[in-house]
Structure 1
Amino acid sequence: MKLTLADRTATPSALYTAQQTGELDKLAIDSGIAGIRLMKRAGRAAFDQLLARHPNVEQVTVYCGAGNNAGDGYVVAALAAQQRIPVRLIAVGDPEKLSGEAAEARDYARQEGVIFESPGEAPPTGVIVDALLGTGIKGEVRPAYAEAIEQINASGRPVMAIDIPTGLNADTGAVMGTAVRAGFTVTFIGVKRGLLTARGPALCGELVFADLGVPESIYAQVSAEVMPLTLAQLLATLPRRATDAHKGDFGHVMVIGGDTGFGGASIMAAESAARAGAGLVSLATRPEHVAPALTRRPEIMVCGVTSGQELEPWLARPTVLVVGPGLGQSPWSEQMLQQALQSGLPLVLDADALNLLAANRPAAAEKRDDWILTPHPGEAARLLDTTTVEIQADRFGAITELQKRYGGAIILKGAGSLVKGPGSDIGLVTAGNPGMASGGMGDVLSGILGGLLAQGETVTDVARLGACLHTEAADLAVGDWGERSLLATDLVPALCQLLQAEPGVATS
């Protein structure tokens, strides 16, 4: 998801829950910034963003609820009226029951001549502003608000959400029954973590952050457990290669996978590992896939194996194993995974390696610190013996439980992928696009991770950097191919381009 900064030069370094954002707001007020002043700044920031996208707007329809989020909407309505832009304000709930700053904002709008309407008097027109409910929503959206959401979504008009689309959970990104679909969202003071994962990116549209002039000293007083991951910062940790480097300095990755009918997945993973910088890459696969793999990428050492016993001698040379791409769930697959687990080597597990692990095939592996697991929500559900719906309802809780149960570093894939390593905060990947919803993308990711892990970085650093490289490469490649036509192998040239630009740090 694209994150635009409305009024600050530094990208936010933390993502907050609704409660934490409330603490920031309270601390700002306690520091001497009046609450109504913050509200008017919020309304001004939102109105400016509306005009930036719709400079010739002919009408604005503002939906207001009964809390502080409504107060921001009343300010937007007042500012539109000041600009002689026809404005309609649809009040869901009694405006006279507003209190505090929201009541002051209501009076401000009334003073500017804004007329309040009841829901259902007429369909919305012009640009719609969603100021119904903010971050405080607890249960499912109540009927009156659900009807208003339906009106907004059915209107076909452009929609700006204030702070958060109504019905979206600010903490998890889950939908509380129903939610507004916005073209862009202007969020204030702290970026809410639910805006950037699960259903958040699809419902927010473009996300704009305005800090409303809250000083940096306020942010230092509230600790958050989730941070956005930035590729430039992560790339800077990769060391430059010494002038006298040789291939043995950068590890040996072996990809294990490619059961009958699934050979392409393991070949893509092996190629990606090589392109990510591994010194040597080998592939253990079904014998029928040896020739296609060598034809595709002759730099890869390929061995055909028909059993775990045949694989065992080949495990003496690699330093990292990537297990899962095209692995399948056959007896052959189980033998491959068993040998990998018994090797004692650092691991990247993906796809059917995770499904076999979840099914205790082979016998349950012990929790370990030297592996990276890369489940999508369905695989995560199997690993935690729950449902995909439950995983998506609280992705932050899910990845925390996965890391606690299995150890190592976890990448919970999906819109707004999450990354968590031993003792670390949760990292959130903000890059990526819908073109990644195609076969083979996970295989490329697992290869990238294996290639980076072979070069000596920690599992946490590798998981963070690999997840960012993967999504940023997809964003780069989608410019050439488009979302509908993007293929997993299209990411490989883009990956090389990103790594070519790495700043790096010097090594001796």
Structure 2
Amino acid sequence: MVIFFEGYTMILLNAAESRELDRISQEKYQIPSYSLMTRAGEAVGDALVERFSDATPDVLVVVGKGNNGGDGFVAGRRLIQDGFAVRAVLLGRATDLKGDAARAHAEFRASGGNVIEASEESNLEAALVKRPTAVIDAIFGTGLNAEVKDRPRRAIEIVNSFAVPTVAVDIASGVNSDTGAIMGVAIRASLTVTFGFAKFGHVSYPGAGQTGELRIVDIGFAPRAIEEIAPRGRFLERADLQHLLHPRPENSHKGMYG
């Protein structure tokens, strides 16, 4: 079940609008990309501790090669600095990481974090053989638009088999952000922490069923950026539509010709 703040009419973004929000905030309003990543990852780590305080003895962060993985490394670093035990499995090689994701990986390592590079299927099975007490899913973000295959697919299957509290970074990996479609397989998240605004995939089934509780956090996007994008998507609760659900009065069909 997806949980929202009552009475709040939420903006919904698609993947292209999410990318534009990032780009405009950084390029036009000079908000450093790594500060956005830092706030995002730290919000994920904090949310795990707040929501699942008993599940922190052995946290597993499963990361992909993009910026979603970078958010995961930041979340892991935050947890280590707060005194929790964290290990990370990277679905690839550290040399594949670029930009902010590479920086987040380096800072995670510098904080004492251990990273297992699962660049092959056999490595993956060995890296995920030990069941953790909680998982941070940082494999794919909102840009996923193809069927999940190979190592990422197997990683998702294994994570789901753990049946432990799982926190998804931005959106449950495997869910299409625009449609809510499951791209072959998807993480079953207990909690999803998304940034700035909700996405269509959070509230559109079947993907909504993979979201768990949805938490929307402000990570410092430029307020004017969302005004420039002017997204049209909205999530409306029953109270927002109540006036449309009232039955029409008797004889209300009579108009100017009544």
The TM-score, its normalising length taken from structure 1, stands at 0.46
Instruction: Give the conservation status (yes or no) of the 8 Å contact 1:12–1:191.
Output: no
Q: Distance in 1 between matches of 2:214 and 2:190?
A: 9
Which structure 2 segments of 5+ residues have no match? 119-123
Instruction: Give the conservation status (yes or no) of the 8 Å contact 1:58–1:86.
Output: yes
Report the alpha carbon displacement of residue 215 of structure 1 after superposing the two structures with TM: 3.4
Alignment correspondent of 2:221: 214
1:162 maps to which of 169, 180, 184: 169
Alignment correspondent of 1:19: 16
Instruction: Give the conservation status (yes or no) of the 8 Å contact 1:133–1:167.
Output: yes
Amino acid at match of 1:101: D
Are residues 97 and 84 of structure 1, via their aligned partners in 2, closer, same or farther at CA, if it must alter by over 3 Å? same
Amino acid at match of 2:48: L
Residues 51-450 of structure 1 aligned to structure 2 (within 5 Å): 51-56=49-54, 57-117=56-116, 118=118, 119-121=124-126, 122-235=129-242, 276-280=246-250, 319=252
Amino acid at match of 1:58: P
Q: Distance in 1 between matches of 2:5 and 2:10?
A: 14
Instruction: Give the conservation status (yes or no) of the 8 Å contact 2:10–2:198.
Output: no
Q: Is residue 4 of structure 2 the alignment partner of residue 3 of structure 1?
A: yes
Amino acid at match of 1:32: Q
The TM-score, its normalising length taken from structure 2, stands at 0.87
Describe the SS at the equivalent of 1:221.
helix
Report the alpha carbon displacement of residue 234 of structure 1 after superposing the two structures with TM: 4.5
Q: Distance in 1 between matches of 2:102 and 2:5?
A: 30
Alignment correspondent of 1:36: 34
Report the alpha carbon displacement of residue 39 of structure 1 after superposing the two structures with TM: 0.3
Are residues 230 and 52 of structure 1, via their aligned partners in 2, closer, same or farther at CA, if it must alter by over 3 Å? same
Amino acid at match of 1:35: S
Describe the SS at the equivalent of 2:216.
strand
Amino acid at match of 2:81: Q
Larger radius of gyration: 1
* CA root-mean-square deviation: 2.3
Report the alpha carbon displacement of residue 71 of structure 1 after superposing the two structures with TM: 0.2
Q: Distance in 2 between matches of 1:278 and 1:189?
A: 38
Report the alpha carbon displacement of residue 190 of structure 1 after superposing the two structures with TM: 2.7
Instruction: Give the conservation status (yes or no) of the 8 Å contact 2:170–2:193.
Output: yes
Are residues 4 and 187 of structure 1, via their aligned partners in 2, closer, same or farther at CA, if it must alter by over 3 Å? farther
How many residues of Structure 1 are paired with residues of Structure 2 in the alignment?
A: 244
Instruction: Give the conservation status (yes or no) of the 8 Å contact 1:149–1:179.
Output: yes
Q: Distance in 2 between matches of 1:50 and 1:12?
A: 25
Instruction: Give the conservation status (yes or no) of the 8 Å contact 1:123–1:155.
Output: no
Are residues 12 and 162 of structure 1, via their aligned partners in 2, closer, same or farther at CA, if it must alter by over 3 Å? farther
Q: Distance in 1 between matches of 2:46 and 2:196?
A: 16
1:339-368 CA-to-partner distances (Å, cap 9, x unmatched) read xxxxxx99xxxxxxxxxxxxxxxxxxxxxx
Which structure 1 segments of 5+ residues have no match? 239-272, 281-317, 321-344, 347-508
Amino acid at match of 1:27: I
Describe the SS at the equivalent of 1:14.
strand
Instruction: Give the conservation status (yes or no) of the 8 Å contact 1:124–1:151.
Output: no
Are residues 232 and 12 of structure 1, via their aligned partners in 2, closer, same or farther at CA, if it must alter by over 3 Å? closer
1:174-213 CA-to-partner distances (Å, cap 9, x unmatched) read 0111111101100112311111012122100111111212
Structure with greater contact order relative to length (CA < 8 Å, sep ≥ 6):
2
Q: Distance in 1 between matches of 2:183 and 2:208?
A: 15
Describe the SS at the equivalent of 2:13.
coil
Amino acid at match of 1:218: A
Instruction: Give the conservation status (yes or no) of the 8 Å contact 1:64–1:130.
Output: yes
Report the alpha carbon displacement of residue 155 of structure 1 after superposing the two structures with TM: 0.7
Are residues 105 and 231 of structure 1, via their aligned partners in 2, closer, same or farther at CA, if it must alter by over 3 Å? same
Alignment correspondent of 1:446: none
Report the alpha carbon displacement of residue 156 of structure 1 after superposing the two structures with TM: 1.3
Instruction: Give the conservation status (yes or no) of the 8 Å contact 2:70–2:102.
Output: yes
Q: Distance in 2 between matches of 1:215 and 1:233?
A: 27
Report the alpha carbon displacement of residue 124 of structure 1 after superposing the two structures with TM: 3.5
Residues 477-488 of structure 1 aligned to structure 2 (within 5 Å): none
Are residues 32 and 92 of structure 1, via their aligned partners in 2, closer, same or farther at CA, if it must alter by over 3 Å? same
Report the alpha carbon displacement of residue 230 of structure 1 after superposing the two structures with TM: 4.1
Q: Distance in 2 between matches of 1:182 and 1:210?
A: 17
Report the alpha carbon displacement of residue 94 of structure 1 after superposing the two structures with TM: 1.1
Are residues 98 and 12 of structure 1, via their aligned partners in 2, closer, same or farther at CA, if it must alter by over 3 Å? farther
